[in-house]
Chain A
Amino acid sequence: MGRKLLTEHINVPGIDTFEVYRKHGGYRSVEKALKTMTPDEVVEEVKKSGLRGRGGAGFPTGMKWSFLAKPEGIPRHLVCNADESEPGTFKDRELMSKLPHLLVEGMITSSYALGANTSYIYIRGELLYVLRILEKAIAEAYANGFLGKNILGSGYDLDLHVHPGGGAYICGEETALLESLEGKRGNPRNKPPFPAVQGLYARPTVVNNVESIAAVVPIINDGGEEYAKIGVGRSTGTKLISACGHVKNPGIYEIELGVPVEEFIYSDEYCGGIWKGRDLKAVVAGGSSVPILPKDLILKTAAGENRLMTYESLSDGGFVTGTMLGSGGFIAMDETTCIVRNTWNFSRFYHHESCGQCSPCREGTGWLEKVLHRLEHGHGHMHDIDLLVSVAKQIEGNTICPLGEAAAWPVAAAVRHFRHEFEWHVTHAKQAAQPGAVYPAQGVLA
Chain B
Amino acid sequence: MESTTATVKPQFSQAAQAEIARLFTHYPAERRKSALLPLLHIAQAEFGGWVSPEVQDLVAETIGILPIEVYEVSSFYTMFNLKPVGKHVLEICRTGPCMLRGSDELTANLERITGAKVGGTSPDGLFTLKEVECLAACGTAPIVQVREKYYEQLDTQEAVDAMLNELRNLVHRPLLPWEETGLQHTQQ
Chain A residue contacts of B38, Cβ below 8 A: 163-164
A414 CA to B133 CA, complexed, in Å: 21
With CB as the reference atom, state the residue of chain B lying closest to A334.
B100
Chain B residue contacts of A415, Cβ below 8 A: none
A346 interface hit (Cβ, 8 Å): yes
Chain A residue contacts of B166, Cβ below 8 A: none
State which of B10-18, B111-119, B139-147, B156-164 sits at the interface with chain A.
B139-147
A201 CA to B33 CA, complexed, in Å: 11
- Given A88-B97, A129-B150, A183:B79 Cβ within 8 A: no
A346 CA to B80 CA, complexed, in Å: 23
Chain A residue contacts of B65, Cβ below 8 A: 183
A167 touches B97 (CB 8 A): no
A184 touches B132 (CB 8 A): no
User: Which residues between 89 and 103 of chain B lie within 8 Å of chain A, taking CB atoms?
Assistant: 91, 94-97, 99-101
A40 interface hit (Cβ, 8 Å): no
B31 touches A182 (CB 8 A): yes
B78 interface hit (Cβ, 8 Å): yes
State which of B69-77, B120-128, B179-187 sits at the interface with chain A.
B69-77
A129 CA to B136 CA, complexed, in Å: 13
Minimum distance in angstroms from A28 CB to a CB of chain B: 28
A312 interface hit (Cβ, 8 Å): no
B77 touches A168 (CB 8 A): yes
B35 touches A129 (CB 8 A): no
User: Which residues between 281 and 331 of chain A lie within 8 Å of chain B, taking CB atoms?
Assistant: 284, 288, 329, 331
A244 interface hit (Cβ, 8 Å): yes
B168 interface hit (Cβ, 8 Å): no
Minimum distance in angstroms from A141 CB to a CB of chain B: 15
Chain B residue contacts of A168, Cβ below 8 A: 76-78
B9 interface hit (Cβ, 8 Å): no
State which of A14-22, A79-87, A105-113, A395-403 sits at the interface with chain B.
A79-87
Chain B residue contacts of A163, Cβ below 8 A: 26, 34, 37-38
A92 CA to B135 CA, complexed, in Å: 12
- Given A92-B136, A128-B41, A166:B149 Cβ within 8 A: no
B34 touches A183 (CB 8 A): yes
B2 interface hit (Cβ, 8 Å): no
B31 touches A352 (CB 8 A): no
User: Which residues between 13 and 53 of chain B lie within 8 Å of chain A, taking CB atoms?
Assistant: 26, 28, 31, 33-38, 40-41
A87 touches B134 (CB 8 A): yes
Chain B residue contacts of A342, Cβ below 8 A: 96, 99-100
State which of A230-238, A245-253, A257-265 sits at the interface with chain B.
A245-253
Number of chain B residues whose Cβ lies closer than 8 Å to a Cβ of chain A: 45
User: Which residues between 129 and 187 of chain A lie within 8 Å of chain B, taking CB atoms?
Assistant: 129, 132, 159, 161, 163-169, 180-186
B137 touches A129 (CB 8 A): no
B139 touches A349 (CB 8 A): no
Q: Contact check: which of B36, B74, B97, B133 meets A244 at CB < 8 Å?
A: B97
A166 CA to B73 CA, complexed, in Å: 9
State which of A119-127, A360-368, A379-387 sits at the interface with chain B.
A119-127
Minimum distance in angstroms from B139 CB to a CB of chain A: 4
A31 interface hit (Cβ, 8 Å): no
Q: Contact check: which of B31, B78, B96 meets A166 at CB < 8 Å?
A: B78
Chain A residue contacts of B72, Cβ below 8 A: 185
A132 CA to B178 CA, complexed, in Å: 10
Chain B residue contacts of A132, Cβ below 8 A: 148, 177
A279 interface hit (Cβ, 8 Å): no
With CB as the reference atom, state the residue of chain A lying closest to B97.
A244
B134 touches A185 (CB 8 A): no
Minimum distance in angstroms from B147 CB to a CB of chain A: 8
B138 interface hit (Cβ, 8 Å): yes
Contact sample, A vs B, 30 pairs, CB 8 Å cutoff? A87-B95, A87-B133, A88-B96, A88-B134, A93-B136, A93-B137, A126-B135, A128-B41, A129-B148, A129-B149, A132-B177, A161-B26, A163-B37, A164-B41, A166-B73, A182-B31, A182-B34, A183-B33, A183-B34, A183-B63, A185-B73, A186-B76, A244-B97, A245-B97, A250-B140, A288-B134, A337-B100, A342-B96, A345-B94, A345-B96
- Contact surface of A with B, Cβ cutoff 8 Å: 84-90, 92-93, 120, 124-129, 132, 159, 161, 163-169, 180-186, 201, 242-246, 250-252, 284, 288, 329, 331, 333, 337, 341-342, 345-346, 349, 352-353, 355
Given contacts A180-B37, A183-B73, 10 further A-B contacts (CB under 8 A): A88-B97, A89-B138, A124-B136, A126-B136, A183-B34, A184-B73, A185-B72, A251-B139, A349-B95, A353-B133
